[in-house]
Structure 1
Amino acid sequence: MRPIAITMGDPSGIGGELSLKAWQNLKDSQIPFYCLDNVDRLQNIIDHLNLDTKIQVIRTPNEAKSVFPNALPVFDLPLQTVSIPGQLDSANGQTVLDSISLAVEHTIEGKAAAVVTNPIHKAALYETGFTYPGHTEYLAALGGENKPSIMMLACDSLRVIPVTIHQSLKTAIDGLTTEKIIYTAEIAHKALKNLYDIKEPRLAISGLNPHAGESGKMGHEDEEIIAPAITSLKNKGINAFGPLPADTMFHAEARANYDIAICMYHDQALIPIKTLDFHGGVNVTLGLPFIRTSPDHGTALDIAGKGIANPSSFVNAIKMAYTMAKAQQK
């Protein structure tokens, strides 16, 4: 199994601490990874936080597997200025982008199995001329994709996908279409088969309105937009069902009946999973030509350098990337 490529993220955030703690958690596992990062920065974090972590420079991803049991392999990248925890500095923006682009390059070339991204701070990157709306759009461009990618959140007990993402609720509802639901569900179905080795994925489709519209008494979107999408998916041989009342979809007995929940807007999907497993949730980007996962949180500048960052989501992101890569390889 090839190693997993870990990006640096914003050097002023908690990414370095997470990478070092992840190696401590996984050094005895069969999940090798390497960081595209700055060696001096990581060593400074080790010294400042008194972490029991060793690092070793590698020149190619192929060296990572032999190094990993004894030290965290680091593909060294230069910083333009010394990074200070908690203090944004756009001067290092190009190194942040280089870390991402090299991780993608290594993965597409078959030198790495997957990409796990540390959180970036878009505001700092915008000052360097970064023109993409966010992390995911940049990754899609690097992979040559021009179709929208899909955001899936996953933990041990639940997988969710919002059809509409970072929009106001009014904008999300106004922009909800049958075609968007079908597109999202088809990508989810393919991913569950190819990356999670689920032979016959079961897709639970939520309604939009309370009680899934109550037969038109509480809105017509469920009957006019969502139900036709489900019919189309069934006609294509996809096991999709609904629209289901969102308030009864996420208790334990309900979750046992599906492999993923397709929800209509951001909070409808993210509130359940963050309630069930706030620290363990993983962000997975579907629709890219490579595997990409990330922790379900940001740069956490307010706690950077304090040694209190919880690595659970980041460790789970690495584990999930490894599991997905194994299924893809199979």
Structure 2
Amino acid sequence: MTLLAFLAVALAVVFAGQRVAFYGDALAEKRGWGRAWVGLILVAATTSLPELITGTSAVLQGLVDIAVGDVLGSTLFNLLILSLLDAVGGRIPLLGRLHAGHALAVGFALIFLALQGAALWWGGPGLGPVSWYTPLALLLYLLATRLTFLYERRRPVAEVERLERLYGHLAEDQVVRGYLLWGGMVVLAASLLPTLAERLAEETGLGASFVGTALVGATTSLPEVVVTLAAARLGAFDLAVGDLLGSNLFNALILAWDDLLYPGSFFAAAHESHLAAVLVAFAMYGVVLLGMNYQALRKLAVLSWDTLALLGLYLVGLFWLYALR
């Protein structure tokens, strides 16, 4: 019964997520914000709400490893989705077709990972029971969103005009209502996934750190899978990648929220094996940055060398976490 319920909820996420991508891309056109910024902020925040709900529930139950594993596992899985996008994106390698603004999100993500690794290694509080990580994460997230928005506004007018008039048949208020409606459906459906995943995890008998990273993190990232694939079918690859990178930045903010909710030292209570996930994520982001700058001209079969490396690093990370469980 648990498996059937999980599959039913996942299908609901798939259907609603397709509409979120459609209206999110339309909103980028109507408001002139730029697809990368909308993906980074608007769509990313919506699809990351399952992680927020999962973290809140886990912390209130004292399940710190589930909360941390969910965030880090989602971060790894979101980077893995880049390989999936590359596989379905045609003959042109994915990372080579992206505009340079995404490098901002990658740079901020690397800073976040360094802070998370330091917090997990040190574990001590900074401001009473709250870790020093929390205020820094909030300030860094606000800076990331502001700089990305300013960068998008500086893009050449000709490039922005090239992205316009795909949704001229829709009124702006219709687009806003559609986004809010289907975004709410994604949140409602996806919020049921973590509970079902945890129930399935209990039946397997695996460790909390591994389950949180590999299972719960992947299931709460299902909205990202659906939204990014739907965006890719629309040809909006900047929106798709912006959603993934933006979700990871939002995930870093979720750790700060979890820290605020936890009555004790949140990072000190987390298992040290989470550092392995941080290191793997750091390496995966390095590959993304290399791929964006090298701009490969052709693929090796269905994947380019960079997204193939992302797939390999993800599998290595899962094996490493399983060994440390």
Bucket of the pairwise TM-score, normalised by the shorter protein? under 0.3
The structure showing larger relative contact order (alpha-carbon pairs under 8 Å, at least 6 residues apart) is: 2
Please state which structure has a larger fraction of its residues in helix.
2
The structure whose Rg is larger is: 1
Please state which structure has a larger fraction of its residues in strand.
1
TM-score by length of 1: 0.24
TM-score by length of 2: 0.24
